[in-house]
Amino acid sequence: MKLYVNGIEHDLETPPLESLLTALREELAITSPKAGCNQGGCGACTVIVDGEPRRSCLTPLAAIDGASVTTVEGLGADGALSPIQAAFFDHYATQCGFCVSGFMLAAHTLLEREPGAGRDRIIEGLAGHLCRCTGYVKIVEAVEAAARGDVDLSRDRDRESEFLTEGSQA
């Protein structure tokens, strides 16, 4: 079994009927996809497989031999944030953060399918994902902003976060 995960080729030892989620988390130690329910109900394990969002817990490895897989670790280019990541950060679309990787990957592919998607399409596109903290308002706002292209990618969020850490220590 072979997978290209975030651009890197991996030969896998995980048995072929195991889920993609198990292979990512247990063999490759890529832990952003979460085992929230392991039965396709929550969306926390969603990753991108050959350009499409998929529940990795429902996907047997044998069905995707040779596929390209993207997780949030591989979402931005050259260490920069992708627009959807920046939008989630700027709009405070996370609380506990457990569901956020699935939401961002679903939103990312939604905006590739439907650039400029409006509020109703966004809600429909994210309908399979559960968040128990935010009440979804900030998540939808973040995706709406990304759909409008209203994301400032030139901001240095690394420095902003450092500033906050220094400030809180002072």
| Residue 70 binds other proteins, judged by CB under 8 A | no
Phi, psi of 57 (to 5 degrees): -75, -20
Least distance between other proteins and beta carbon 44 (Å): 5
**Footprint of other proteins on 3-42 (CB under 8 A):** 15-19, 22, 25, 29-32, 34-42
Q: How far is it, in rounded angstroms, from Cα 158 to Cα 38?
A: 33
Q: How far is it, in rounded angstroms, from Cα 158 to Cα 167?
A: 14
Q: Which of 4, 76, 136, 144 binds other proteins (CB under 8 A)?
A: 76
| Residue 135 binds other proteins, judged by CB under 8 A | no
| Residue 149 binds other proteins, judged by CB under 8 A | no
The β-bridge relationship of strands 68-70 and 2-5 is parallel
Cβ atoms 145, 151 nearer than 8 A: yes
Least distance between other proteins and beta carbon 115 (Å): 16
| Residue 169 binds other proteins, judged by CB under 8 A | no
| Closer CB to other proteins, 84 or 149, in the complex | 84
Buried b / exposed e along 62-85 (16+ C-beta atoms within 10 A): eebeebbbbbbebbeeeeebbbbb
Least distance between other proteins and beta carbon 149 (Å): 18
Q: Provide the CA 68 distance to its chain's centre, in angstroms.
A: 15
Q: Which of 3, 12, 23, 81 binds other proteins (CB under 8 A)?
A: 81
Least distance between other proteins and beta carbon 19 (Å): 6
| Residue 152 binds other proteins, judged by CB under 8 A | no
